[in-house]
Chain A
Amino acid sequence: MSAPKDKRGRDGILPGLLKGMATTAKSVMRPTHTAEYPHAEPTLPPRSRGVIALLEENCTSCMLCARECPDWCIYIDSHKETIPATTEGGRDRQRNVLDRFAIDFSLCMYCGICVEVCPFDALFWSPQFEYAEYDLRDLLHEKDRLGEWMATVPPPPALNESAADPAEVTAANRPERGR
């Protein structure tokens, strides 16, 4: 294959090269777009799925997250504790106590289904991503490590002005039953 000829009939790779160099020269004049990561922190949006944080007090060990996880990377152990009745003739109550809550981030697909299904707001996404490990097994975060991520959870962003009211607002505005 021979290169196409230019107007004077010469082999012309020069115009293309010059055009490319002109574009490069234009870019050289502009400040760089790349951020030098370890020195410059990236600004990540609040919805960014970096790591899953656990608010242990909210967890009732209902196992919904562990069951809905597409690759079953959430491990939960719990036991039941009996709280004796506080009043005379009252009933003893049972309470779930969370013994272990672990997410294996080497298996996690970062889909966010566990965060979505949690009925008690115990799981949150954090944009924090700096938890790379040299050993795969260290990516299994136990509940204390998952709890530490709570400090990095940002508040959710405000929604678009055309968005429908959140379910909580609609529920609060609904007229009471029986009226």
Chain B
Amino acid sequence: MSTPTETTLATGAGLTSHDMVLNIGPQHPATHGVLRLKIVLDGERIVSADPIIGYMHRGAEKLFEVRDYRQITVLANRHDWLSAFGNELGVVLAVEHLLGMEVPTRAVWLRTLLAELNRVLSHLMFLGSYPLELGAITPVFYAFREREELQAVMEEASGGRMHYMFNRVGGLKEDVPAGWTGRVRDAVTGVRRRLPELESLLVGNEILMARTKGVGVLGASTIQQFGVSGPIGRASGVDVDLRRDAPYLAYAELFAPGGPGRVVTRTEGDCLARLEVLLEQVHVALDLADACLDRLATLPSGPVNQRLPKVLKVPEGEHYVATENPLGFNGYYLVSAGEKTPWRLKLRSASFNNVQVLSRMLPGQLVADMVAILGSMFFVVGDVDK
């Protein structure tokens, strides 16, 4: 006979809880595509968060290596599908620098104008989709109405609504149609006039404030560690804007003292600050577009592109070009071996870095705030996965 022993079968869990691993995505409406977040939860609190990327990796950099520079602009404008013009721009600027090519003045100002219109388009998309993620359905309709006006003028000039394919090495594909500048002026004026309607649904709305104020605060030091850039960096007081600090195109003149350009910053670093930066940047971009139109009206007649040889070979060398895309720094590191294709074209995309910082931001937050924080990072998955 064995002696009776005391065995503890189970203890009451009481108030302690077990960690739970929760997968957000890859198919989740708040991830704007196929981003997967692996979140470890302790009750309602996030213990750790791990963005798992690569579901949409298309090997863009490798594809660049077997295509000539005109074909590269086709591919390059697709990684961040909301800012195709900005993406094309970096490639052609890098090639033009290695070639030592001067771009006609009209092309420089038209490029600046189109880049700013593209910035408004991209920002309006997020100004519509972010409230959607917070549960407000209405703002997206106002944002898309304005996008439609601007897309119409972009389509009239380039033929595309998203993938403009309007940049060429040495300038633009062709000149803009007659009367186009007038229609751009009308569109810009119309968007500026109606923007307060969209703002009235966002700024100062108590529900939106409750969801975003003080939520997901990102410190300036974390931003520097992770290489976060663009509106998200500026919302935390990191006062960097390549349009002012490393000017390309006509931005040196636009951001000169007394010019219409200004860098929008906030110091709070929370979700609300990021949304506010985006909203104010739309106003600045519209002002810049107006300034470009004023300037274009005074420029003498001239070409918008350079005559190129049938086979365009870029001399041996390397060059890095970074431009201020709507979502942050977009850089291309071009290494040419003197061929008609690049030896290597490294792509530094804004969203890639902006998404990585989630692993630092999300721990300690409530799971209910997760979507509010994720949405406020303003990323495009194509730009993350490249």
Residues of B within 8 A of A47 (CB): 155-159, 177
Shortest CB distance A5–B (Å) = 9
The residues of B with any CB-CB pair to A shorter than 8 Å are: 67, 70-71, 74-75, 78, 106, 138, 145, 148, 152, 155-160, 163, 165, 173-178, 180-181, 197, 200-201, 204-211, 213-215, 296, 299-304
Contacts between chains A and B (CB distance < 8 A), count: 115
**Is B200 in contact with A20, judged by CB distance below 8 angstroms?**
yes
**Is B165 in contact with A160, judged by CB distance below 8 angstroms?**
no
5 A-B pairs in the complex with CB atoms less than 8 angstroms apart: A15-B206, A45-B156, A111-B71, A113-B70, A164-B302
Cα–Cα, bound, A1→B272 (Å): 14
**Is A158 in contact with B210, judged by CB distance below 8 angstroms?**
no
**Is A45 in contact with B71, judged by CB distance below 8 angstroms?**
no
Cα–Cα, bound, A91→B176 (Å): 48
Cα–Cα, bound, A159→B210 (Å): 51
**Is B163 in contact with A111, judged by CB distance below 8 angstroms?**
yes
**Residues of chain A in range 143-179 having any CB-CB distance to chain B below 8 Å:** 157-164
Q: Which of B152, B211, B301 contacts A163 (CB 8 A)?
A: B301
For the complex, is A87 an interface residue (Cβ under 8 Å from B)? no
Q: Which residue of B lies closest to A45 (CB)?
A: B156
Cα–Cα, bound, A15→B213 (Å): 17
**Is A13 in contact with B302, judged by CB distance below 8 angstroms?**
no
Residues of B within 8 A of A26 (CB): 197
**Is A164 in contact with B201, judged by CB distance below 8 angstroms?**
no
Residues of A within 8 A of B74 (CB): 70, 109, 111, 113
Shortest CB distance B184–A (Å) = 11
**Is B304 in contact with A13, judged by CB distance below 8 angstroms?**
no
**Is A16 in contact with B205, judged by CB distance below 8 angstroms?**
yes
Cα–Cα, bound, A1→B214 (Å): 10
For the complex, is A68 an interface residue (Cβ under 8 Å from B)? yes
